Amino acid sequence: MTALIAAVVAAGCVSSTEGSPLPSPGGAENEPSASAPSSSGDQLPYAGAPAVADPLDTELFQRDPCQALASDQAGTLELRYPGTLRDSSLGKACEFRVRADRLALVEIASLDRNPYGVSAIYQAEKDGKLAFFEPLEPIGGYPAVAYGALDERDAGACSVVIGTSDEIAFEVALQQSAGNVGKKDPCETGSMVAEMVLETMKAAQ
């Protein structure tokens, strides 16, 4: 799922068949390529993005975002544990499959190779790269935004990006199980997962 920020900078792939990822509304590889500062003189944050008042040390999770969910949290979400770590153009990503539905998943991705934090998403919106863009109430005290280069919320897909510092952001991209599509807001579910991720990160400080 890390393919939207790399495409929008480029954040996500939702698999139609296991092992065959397709571009999703979010995902680290789908973040807008136009999400870097509009000029070299721009300072973080930019493009209207909020500042991160209390940055977290996320080096551990940048190396291995599979550590961002504890086993009990994954159990609450009915995810297979541990997740599968992989590399992406914007950082490491970890995929957790839903136990009861092989096509449903949650992916947590570090976007540290695109060191512009949530400003990258705000810039992508200004550049007209996004089909939907929804700033969220802070999650655990940290800025968050739901977005998609495609709007696939009706199909149960959404990506939520949280800024853990002005430079570093993490993305939670998900595809709901078939039984939840149309019944639950995937962005609300993504926000819930993002809150769990922040709980884990804060506990590691």
On whether the CB atoms of residues 161 and 118 are closer than 8 A, the answer is yes
Task: Render pLDDT for 96-123 as a digit per residue (tens, 0 to 9).
Answer: 999 989 889 999 999 999 999 999 999 9
Joined together, the tokens standing for residue 14 give 């939702």
Q: Is 109 helix (H, G, I), strand (E, B) or coil?
A: strand
Q: What is the DSSP letter of 194?
A: H
Give the number of other Cβ atoms within 10 Å of residue 53's Cβ: 10
Task: Render pLDDT for 123-135 as a digit per residue (tens, 0 to 9).
Answer: 999 999 999 999 9
Among 7, 56, 12, residue whose Cα is nearest residue 34: 7
Among 130, 132, 109, 162, residue whose Cα is nearest residue 3: 109
Per-residue pLDDT in tens (0 to 9) along the chain, 205 residues: 544 444 444 333 332 233 323 334 345 455 444 356 665 456 999 999 999 999 999 999 999 999 999 999 999 999 999 999 999 889 999 999 999 898 899 999 999 999 999 999 999 999 999 999 999 999 999 999 999 999 999 999 999 999 999 999 999 999 999 999 999 999 999 999 999 999 999 999 9
pLDDT averaged over every residue in the chain: 85
C-alpha distances in angstroms, 33 versus 3, 72, 74, 136, 161?
Answer: 11, 36, 32, 22, 16
Residue type, 175: Q
